[in-house]
């Protein structure tokens, strides 16, 4: 029994690690809840549901806070785009961009 339970747990953990679903935002933070929604609709297609990467690079697990120590620089990057990364300034409001950047930095 113990072995079977361990195998089931292993499968569940592997499923979580494959990035098949977008992690929940803390319900008491409206900015992060909105940012999750923006992420699912605009970013997950390239960066993966959990930000693990795909057409675009991995942006989960604190990667972007390392790349952009100042949140303003990450907001600017998402607004202006670069190479295969589209510019979002024309599609999202400044508030939506800030929310999604916070979601990527704080939740993914």
40 lies in the site for ligand HEC, by CB under 6 A = no
Among 34, 100, 107, 108, binds ligand HEC (CB under 6 A): 100
Beta bridge partners of 1: none
Q: Does 41 bind ligand HEC (CB under 6 A)?
A: no
Under the criterion CB under 6 A, does residue 79 sit at the interface with ligand HEC?
A: no
Residues in contact with ligand HEC by CB under 6 A are: 42-43, 45-47, 55-57, 59, 64, 67, 74, 77-78, 82-86, 88, 100, 104
């Amino acid at each position: 029994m113990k072995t079977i339970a361990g195998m089931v747990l292993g499968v569940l953990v592997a499923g979580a690690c494959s990035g098949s679903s977008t992690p929940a935002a803390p319900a008491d933070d409206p900015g992060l809840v909105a940012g999750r929604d923006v992420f699912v609709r605009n970013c997950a297609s390239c960066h993966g549901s959990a930000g693990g990467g795909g057409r675009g690079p991995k942006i989960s697990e604190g990667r972007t806070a390392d790349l952009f120590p100042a949140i303003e620089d990450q907001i600017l990057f998402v607004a202006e785009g670069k190479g295969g990364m589209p510019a979002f300034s024309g599609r999202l409001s400044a508030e939506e961009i800030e929310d999604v950047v916070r979601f990527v930095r704080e939740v993914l």
